[in-house]
Amino acid sequence: MPFKYVIEHMEDNLHEWCILEYCHISTFIPTSNIYFTNISKDTESTLLAIKTLQGANFFTNHIIDLNLKKDKICLLDPSAKDILKPEDGNYFEYFLFGGILGDDPPRDRTCELRKHGFQTRSLGDLQMTTDTAINVTKRVIEDKVVIDQIPYIDFPEIKLSIKESVVMPFRYITVPHPNKSTLQTTTDELKLNLVPLLPEGMIELLKKDGDMAFEF
Ligand code: SAM
């Protein structure tokens, strides 16, 4: 039985950031295993019009109203006391995430899902974006990688132009630099030729949004 990744959309609007993050998820999880819940019909139409999201599953219901076996659902929750381990894949079938845009300081909106009493696991103390949290969960559960062995960068500072940069207040997975000319960080990881794994189009959106980036 393939693992399913459930994103309970919790933003009032479908911000461009959400779209980029949701599309990014489909680059490492087959869309048939991606479930979006609490999605209005309008939002569903918008997302389904995006080629990479075709085949994903959309529900207007909240996760709690889908009548899934509760003990098969694991909520990824930064405040959980247990860290996600590869063995958790033996018990859970659904991994649930808040479709929440990261904010600084974190507002703990994941509590709206916690109140349903799902079992919870943490991916560490630092806030990740939803797409990063799903990627880390996939690596732990499917690729059986222990969480500490995933390469990370915390709060990367990303240069947007010669004069401007923005600090992303999140933990990201790092990947080898694809093309030095388009993305530069000012952090030590650059020396190692590693960069944060960001959704395609995020740098352009950051340039457009500027200082408004984390004030949702
Ligand atoms: N500040 C946010 C909040 O209000 O809870 C964090 C939201 S985070 C951007 C979106 C989702 O990714 C969370 O709801 C959670 O499911 C998952 N997530 C992010 N970082 C996590 C971590 N360190 N441990 C477990 N889950 C995490």
Q: What is the pTM of this model?
A: 0.93
For 191, other C-beta atoms within 10 Å of its C-beta total 8
Distance CA 133, CA 190 (A): 22
Average pLDDT of the chain is 91
Give the mean pLDDT of 173-192: 66
Selection from 167, 168, 79 nearest residue 125 by Cα = 79
Give the mean pLDDT of 146-153: 96
Residue 190: which residues within 8 A CB-CB, separation 6 or more? 177, 184
Query: By alpha-carbon position, which residue is closest to atom 12 of ligand 1?
Result: 130
Query: By alpha-carbon position, which residue is closest to atom 5 of ligand 1?
Result: 108
Query: By alpha-carbon position, which residue is closest to atom 13 of ligand 1?
Result: 98
Residue ranges around ligand 1 (CB below 6 Å): 76-78, 97-98, 100, 102-103, 106-110, 122-124, 126-130, 133
Q: Which atom of ligand 1 is nearest to the CA of 75?
A: 16
What is the ipTM metric for this complex?
A: 0.99
pLDDT of residue 215: 47
Note the pLDDT tens digit of each residue in 114-142: 999 999 999 999 999 999 999 999 999 99
Q: Does residue 192 have a pLDDT over 90?
A: no
Query: Cα–Cα–Cα angle for 189, 181, 174, nearest 5°?
Result: 30
In the structure encoding, which two tokens stand for residue 135, read together?
């990627």
Give the mean pLDDT of 41-60: 96
Residue 169: which residues within 8 A CB-CB, separation 6 or more? 102, 104, 127, 155, 214
pLDDT of residue 208: 87
